[in-house]
Structure 1
Amino acid sequence: MEPSYSGGITDELAQRIKPLPTSPIKKNAHFLKGLCVAAKFENENTICKTPPSNENLGDTYSGWAYYSRVDNCGRAKFKSNDFSGKTNQFATEVQCVQTCRTHLKQLCNMTAPQRDRRTNYPMVTYDSNLGYCIEAPGSREDEGKENLFLRNETCMAICADKDSGKEEYPNGC
């Protein structure tokens, strides 16, 4: 009587399967990539989770700041023009979005939900086939959950650089 196949690996087959060799170079590359991602994530958390300090808010220099409570970049006035990237103070909305709203990048290749234009807000979605953002109807609550953005600037800052050939880790990592 022949043994029946239950979907698992037999002991004989398991002994014949050899693991693929992993070179030390590949291990080091993955390790370094992990360190770079972790370092970048830590920097972003430090900058983005801290609201702009009251001492630096003023009325002299216009800029942008990230407000983690509402996951949004908003206009702000600052006492100094220190847009070095070391504080939650950005010269442009694009810099703010690219630094603090990176979690939205995972949505860029998703298909936008089909919504009725008569009952939804005009929003934008990233079309990876075209390489830019196009108009699409959606709900304001969809931003951050679907490939839908309230502003074209946010959509382009998050998604358009994916296909533009820019480095994934611009700080050398």
Structure 2
Amino acid sequence: MSDAPAAPVTENGVPPVAQEKVEEAPGFKVFAGNLAYTTTDEGLKAFFAPVASDILSAQVILRGTRSAGYGFVALATAEAAQKAVDTLNKTELDGRPVIIEIAKPSEQKDKEKKEKKAKRKPGRRGSKAVPGEVSEAEANGEASKTDGAAVPESDEAAKPKKKKKKSAVSRAF
């Protein structure tokens, strides 16, 4: 047996594919979105010709072997990054209008995701929780259980309601 750590394996025995892992390149990053699936790293770098002297790296993000439709270009200066946004945003690359923006730091992006998730209503897609069931937010101590949906303490709430039977007269027609 070797002391080397085992490679992570998914349920079906296949190693997981590295998805959306972007190495933090030095410099100022610019996001390039709505890329054609045929766009390559070299094509993205050539597209940034107006700031070619300031390019540190250009990378199209892949999911497996296929393009994810976006990429990042690292530039040496903030001025070059802003110039790239100003001159290249909404211009066409490989037949598609490309979105060029200053990239957000991953810490800021993670923080925004957490804030967005915290604003979501707990429960089943907006419906109220089943009486006696604890929502995820309540379990984490983030929401109070008294939100207007008080659980009656009598046994009547636990009994299902009976449906009214239709009379023979109404079935005859």
> TM-score category by the smaller chain?
under 0.3
Structure 1 or 2: more helix by fraction: 1
What is the TM-score when the length of structure 2 is the normalising length? Answer: 0.18
- Scaled by the length of structure 1, the TM-score of the pair is 0.18
Flag the structure with more relative contact order, 1 or 2, with Cα contacts below 8 A and sequence separation at least 6: 2
Q: Over alpha carbons, which structure has the higher Rg? A: 2
